């Protein structure tokens, strides 16, 4: 039995509908590369499907091996798939390529999920130092510090 298409025939994603947020994914799809942005630029849209993960794995094995953003996205894909050790390796590699609040935050979340609350708080605080004006990150940092038994640091 054939599967029904994901979307109705009237839902078309033509070239005119593709914008800045889709550009890196189109590059990965068409050229096998994922362009990096400046480390202070927040990442846009995440994909977690296995087909995208495979493409990203190939990209970081090739020309994107020093691309902080590709490694960050790959870490998200691996985490979503339940491969926490591989996610950690990807985010650490992202961090080695460029210190970003995004990789630090994700490593903090991973540490918290594993019950390593002091490490989570330290990484979250480091992320906040890199992006001090980002309110959602500050809130997560507060939670991490409280969970680590350091409410005074949060205050």
Q: Check the CA dihedral 20-26-31-37 and report its sign.
A: positive
Nearest to 57 by CA among 43, 76, 44, 71: 71
Q: Which residues of the chain have pLDDT under 70?
A: 1-18
List, for residues 38-48, the tens digit of each pLDDT value.
Answer: 999 999 889 99
Question: What is the token pair recorded at 70?
Answer: 């590709």
Please tell me the number of Cα atoms within 13 Å of 47 on its side-chain side. 19
Q: Which CATH architecture has domain 99-155?
A: Alpha Horseshoe (1.25)
List, for residues 30-72, the tens digit of each pLDDT value.
Answer: 999 999 999 999 998 899 999 999 999 999 999 889 999 999 9
DSSP states along 2-17: PPPPSS-TT----GGG
Same topology between domain 44-97 and domain 99-155: yes
Q: 44-97: what fold?
A: 1.25.40
Q: What residue ranges do the domains of the chain occupy?
A: 44-97, 99-155
Task: Read off the pTM.
Answer: 0.87
């Amino acid at each position: 039995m054939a599967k029904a298409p994901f979307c109705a025939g009237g839902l078309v994603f033509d070239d005119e509908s593709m914008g800045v947020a889709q550009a890196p994914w189109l590059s990965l799809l068409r050229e096998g590369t994922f362009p990096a942005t400046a480390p202070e630029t927040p990442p846009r849209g995440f994909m977690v499907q296995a087909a995208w993960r495979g493409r990203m794995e190939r990209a970081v094995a090739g020309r994107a091996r020093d691309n902080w953003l590709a490694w960050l996205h790959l870490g998200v894909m691996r985490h979503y798939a339940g491969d926490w050790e591989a996610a950690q390796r990807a985010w650490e590699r992202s961090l080695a390529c460029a210190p970003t609040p995004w990789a630090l935050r994700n490593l903090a979340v991973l540490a918290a999920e594993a019950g390593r609350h002091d490490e989570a708080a330290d990484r979250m605080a480091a992320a906040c130092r890199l992006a001090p004006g980002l309110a959602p990150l500050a809130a997560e940092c507060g939670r991490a510090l409280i969970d680590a038994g350091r409410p005074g640091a949060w205050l």
